[in-house]
């Protein structure tokens, strides 16, 4: 596990100087490791890393239909319109989110 600071990119691409593998010091390990999930570059938070690709697939493959929860801090209480917009789907990096469980 690794607490990702802001400014680190969730990628193993060595061409990206801010990649999580190098910045976290994981590039010296004997086995290749990669993240289980992603956080946006400006975000901070806990990342799981593994050398077992089966773990990633079991947790992240859409066909597994694993529920995901996100905890965010907001600068005000969401309005009914805000919650309705979230339930209808929010585009994040061109992927529409449609869990319809915003509370």
pLDDT of residue 58: 83
DSSP letter for 7, please: T
Taking the C-alpha atoms of residue 66 and residue 72, their distance in angstroms, rounded to an integer, is: 19
Question: Is 40 a known active-site residue?
Answer: yes
pLDDT of residue 100: 46
| Contact predicate 24/8, CB 8 Å | yes
**If you count them, how many residues does the chain have?**
103
- 27, 28, 30, 40: the catalytic one is 40
Instruction: Tell me which residues of the chain have a pLDDT lower than 70.
Output: 90-103
Q: What is the pTM of this model?
A: 0.61
pLDDT of residue 11: 87
The CB-side HSE value for 69 (13 A sphere, CA atoms) comes to 2
Taking the C-alpha atoms of residue 102 and residue 72, their distance in angstroms, rounded to an integer, is: 12
């Amino acid at each position: 596990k690794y607490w990702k600071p802001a400014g680190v990119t969730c990628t193993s691409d060595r061409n990206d100087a801010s990649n999580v593998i190098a910045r976290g010091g994981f590039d010296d390990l004997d086995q290749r490791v990669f993240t289980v999930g992603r956080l946006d570059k400006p975000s901070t938070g806990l990342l799981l890393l593994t050398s077992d690709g089966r773990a990633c697939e079991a947790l992240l493959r859409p066909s597994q239909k694993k529920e995901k929860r996100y905890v965010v801090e907001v600068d005000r209480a969401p309005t009914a319109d805000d919650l309705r917009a979230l339930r209808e789907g929010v585009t994040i990096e061109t992927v529409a989110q449609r869990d319809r469980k915003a509370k």
